[in-house]
Amino acid sequence: MLTVPLDALHRELGARMVPFAGYEMPVQYSDGIIAEHQHTREAAGLFDVSHMGQVKISGPGATAALEALLPVDLVGLPVNGQVYALLTNDAGGVQDDLIVTRWDDDVFFLVVNAACKQDDIAYLRDKLTGLEIEVMEAQALLALQGPQARAVIADLLPAAAGLTFMSGCHTDIDGEAVYVTCSGYTGEDGFEVSLPAALADSFARRLLADERVKPIGLGARDSLRLEAGLCLYGHELSDVTTPVEAALMWSISRARRRDGERPGGFVGAEAIFARQDDGGQLRRVGLKVEGKRPVREGQAVIGPNGESIGVVTSACMGVTLGAPIAMAMIDVAFREPGTELSVDVRGKPLPVTVTRMPFVPQRYYRG
């Protein structure tokens, strides 16, 4: 198993370490997942996401080359602007979801999922011949999330204090270059800091010295992202799931849509547009679960006539809501909010209702 730069600190803080995407990662600390979840919603939580892949792509023509792979408007993306993107395949399925940041005219910084990063890097190297592809293996990545995160960052990295959602800036820690973005995976205002691995421990300790900040593990990260209605690769997203089924057509930039200024031209475009026309058979939806008994990933979703119409893809106790919640892929005919269905829980139907997402309002800072 691989380790992250903060491995020793996690153990010092009493983390329970588990295997995740080839790394030993903290799933929770002594306070437990519920307390960590609540603290992030109320103050500021520190997440170690150094297992994610960080990749710099540069060289003449990088903008056009990346637009040939990704269904986003990189031509119109300003320097230090970010965009959420899907890495699609020829059939329109999703190979990964990632964040792209423009650092300069033909210089881009990508953050990709840990479980997909080796495949992503190989794919990028195969497709982007002639460009420089730097895998930033000596970088750590820390996320500070929650309503107090901005005040904490203002004290330590004042250059980042005014960032709005999906923007970033270059700054420094003790004279060492770092990159900070206003982004995250919790639905809260927050920041991600890409910094040299050698600085990660000292910077994390500075953050944790602030009483507003506590360490948060993968368990709360998952429940926070589910409340925010955010997809997780391998659950809501896969190489056979198109943006149509995943309810992510909004992630295809307006300029790249069929009626846009530069329609299509990305991998899988025609397949995705064809699926958009026929609607597909499945759609990602949110489920509100009746009572306190949770549902589980992989359980069947049952229609009004007792037929199986889909499957639960993610589920947890919605700590902020005080009730179980879930996402599922179900037959498109039952996708409308308010539709009453059930989930097969060990042979017994548990009532659920299709609901709009996010389950908890997102609080991104937009200025």
pLDDT number for residue 161? 96
d(CA 134, CA 140) in angstroms, rounded, equals: 15
pLDDT at 335: 98
Per-residue pLDDT of 117-166, as tens digits, reads 999 999 999 999 999 999 999 999 999 999 999 999 999 999 999 999 99
- Identify the DSSP state of 93: -
pLDDT of residue 104: 98
Q: What is the pLDDT of residues 71-106, one digit of tens each?
A: 999 999 999 999 999 999 999 999 999 999 999 999
Q: Which residue has the tokens 């995407």?
A: 21
CA–CA separation, 252 and 263 (whole Å)? 10
Q: Identify the three-state secondary structure at position 125.
A: helix
* DSSP state at residue 296: -
Answer for the pair 208, 12: CB distance below 8 angstroms, yes or no: no
pLDDT average, residue stretch 48-76? 98
Starting at the edge strand found earlier in the chain, the sheet holding 176-181 runs 168-173, 176-181, 190-196, 139-145, 44-48, 213-215
Question: Which domains does the chain show, CATH number per domain?
Answer: 2-47+140-227 (3.30.1360.120), 281-355 (2.40.30.110)
Two tokens, residue 340: 């009453």
Mean pLDDT computed over every residue of the chain: 98
Cα 202 to chain centroid distance, Å, stands at 26
Give per-residue pLDDT as tens, 4-44.
Answer: 999 999 999 999 999 999 999 999 999 999 999 999 999 99
Read off the pLDDT band of 46 (50, 70, 90). Answer: very high
Confidence band for 242, pLDDT divided at 50, 70 and 90: very high
